[in-house]
Amino acid sequence: MKRALALSLVLPLAAAGRAVFAKDQCVACHASLEGKHKAILRSFETDIHRESGLSCASCHGGDPSKADAAQAMSPEAGFTPAPSPADIPAFCGKCHSDPGTMKKYNPSLPVDQAVKYFTSVHGQRLKKGDDKVATCVSCHTTHAIRPSKDPLSSVYPKNIPQTCGKCHSDPKRMAPYKIPSDQAAKYVRSVHGRALLERGDTAAPVCNTCHGNHGAAPPGVESIGRICGMCHSQNEQFFLSSPMAKPWKSRKYHICATCHTEHGIQHPTPELLSPDKGLCSRCHKPSSEPIRDAAAMRDKLVQMEGAYQSAKSAIFIAEEKGMDMSEARDLWDGSRMSFYQSRTAVHAFRPAKVAEIADKGIEAAQKAKKAADDAVEEFRFRRIGLGVASLLITFLVLAIYLKVRDIESRPS
Contacts to other proteins by CB under 8 A: 322-324, 326-327, 382-383, 385-386, 389-390, 393-394, 396-397, 400-401, 403-404, 407-408
Cβ closest to other proteins, residue 19 vs residue 402:
402
> How far apart are alpha carbons 216 and 123 in whole angstroms?
9
- CB 332 → other proteins: shortest distance, Å? 15
**Between 152 and 397, CB nearer to other proteins:** 397
Cα separation, 380 vs 362, in Å, equals 27
Q: Which is nearer to other proteins, 31 or 400 (CB)?
A: 400
Q: How far is the CB of 369 from other proteins (least distance, A)?
A: 16
For other proteins, the closer of residues 285 and 405 by Cβ is 405
In this structure, the number of other CB atoms found within 10 A of the CB of residue 404 comes to: 10
Q: In whole angstroms, what is the distance from residue 82 CA to residue 301 CA?
A: 59
Comparing CB distances to other proteins, the nearer of 41 and 375 is 375
Nearest distance from C-beta of residue 371 to other proteins, angstroms:
9
Compute the radius of gyration of the chain from its Cα atoms.
Answer: 33
Which CB sits closer to other proteins, 179 or 392?
392
Nearer to other proteins, 230 or 393 (CB): 393
Q: How far apart are CA 93 and CA 88, in angstroms?
A: 8
| Least CB distance to other proteins at residue 316 (A) | 15
Least gap, CB of 307 to other proteins (angstroms): 22
Closer to other proteins at the Cβ: 233 or 394? Answer: 394
Residue whose CB is less far from other proteins, 179 or 393: 393
- Shortest reach from residue 126's CB to other proteins, in Å: 48
Which CB atom, from 222 or from 377, has the smaller least distance to other proteins?
Answer: 377
The nearest distance, CB 204 to other proteins, in angstroms, is 23
Minimum Å gap between C-beta 2 and other proteins is: 18
Side chain identity, residue 266: Q
Minimal distance in Å, beta carbon 200 to other proteins? 17
> Least Å distance between CB 391 and other proteins?
10
